[in-house]
Amino acid sequence: MNGHSPQRTLSRRRMLQMSLTGTAAGLLIGGLDLALPLAARAQDVSTPDAALAELMAGNKRFASNDLPSLQHDLDILKQHTVEKQEPFAAVLSCADSRVPVEIVFDQSIGHIFVTRVAGNVITPELIGSLEYGAAVLGTKVILVMGHSNCGAVKAAIQGKGVPGQISSLFPHIQPAIDQAGHDLPAATKANAKIQATLLSESSTVISGMVKEGKIKVVAGYYDLGSGVVSLLD
């Protein structure tokens, strides 16, 4: 049906079962490395550098249209994540519907602790959520990710009247506009960097973990056209 032989499908399912129960990390069959992505065994992504490397490797798979996570047996994943979650990374993303975080990084159920808000801005509620991900769930990296053609940043740049409470986002984004001007990509990237810095400095929990080398906070930019996430210095 899907182009995979019954043997490979069975092997993948068995491998996933063994990985989730801690009895195996992967398997080599017919010269092909069929080991699961590191995210399926998040306990192996034990350092901030390893977590960030897996996150970016997943995006590389996504951008090249190679998505092994979509072949995982989701029923097995669901069964083993009912009682607990062990995400290896957290992502603060814009609420934009064109930014499906798990797909962008080729990850599946229970792998990424995702928080979303228009403009990927830091608020007390989001800080609390990300602190929970870091201190309780054990995430090793937090990525604050802006994206191309961001409507929230664009609206803040234009500064026009908007309905309801949409304008409540503008003060959070204004520092990026002050820094980068009215260039949308530049302002979006500046916003991601500013929000990442704000998170790492304003949260005593996360700032302490950063100093101890237990977690990294980084900023990134997702290009809607290419599918590539670039880390921002």
**pLDDT tens-digit map of 37-84:** 333 444 468 899 999 999 999 999 899 988 776 655 567 677 778 888
For residue 187, name the pLDDT band (cuts at 50, 70, 90): very high
Per-residue pLDDT at 24 exceeds 50 = no
Mean pLDDT, range 19-30, rounded to an integer: 35
CB 86, CB 43: distance < 8 Å: yes
Q: Where are the domains of the chain?
A: 1-36, 39-232
Domain 39-232, CATH number (from 2.60.120.10, 3.40.1050.10, 1.20.200.10, 3.40.718.10): 3.40.1050.10
What is the model's pLDDT at position 77? 73
Distance CA 180, CA 197 (A): 16
What is the model's pLDDT at position 57? 92
- At residue 44, the 3 state secondary structure works out as helix
Mean pLDDT, range 201-208, rounded to an integer: 96
∠ CA 188-137-62 to the nearest 5 degrees?
Answer: 45
Per-residue pLDDT at 171 exceeds 70 = yes
What is the model's pLDDT at position 1? 41
User: What are 157-162's contacts with CB under 8 Å, separation 24+?
Assistant: 157/182, 157/184, 157/187
What is the model's pLDDT at position 72? 57
Per-residue pLDDT at 147 exceeds 80 = yes
CA within 13 Å, CB half, 118:
13
What is the model's pLDDT at position 3? 43
Q: What is the mean pLDDT of the chain?
A: 83
For residue 16, name the pLDDT band (cuts at 50, 70, 90): very low
Task: Quickly list DSSP for 120-188.
Answer: G---HHHHHHHHHHHHTS---EEEEEEETT-HHHHHHHHT---STTGGGGHHHHHHHHHHHTT-HHHHH
For residue 19, name the pLDDT band (cuts at 50, 70, 90): very low
What is the model's pLDDT at position 224? 98
Residue 167 CB: number of other CB atoms within 10 A? 14
For residue 144, name the pLDDT band (cuts at 50, 70, 90): very high
Per-residue pLDDT at 229 exceeds 50 = yes
What is the model's pLDDT at position 18? 42
Type of residue found at 18: M
What is the model's pLDDT at position 7? 40
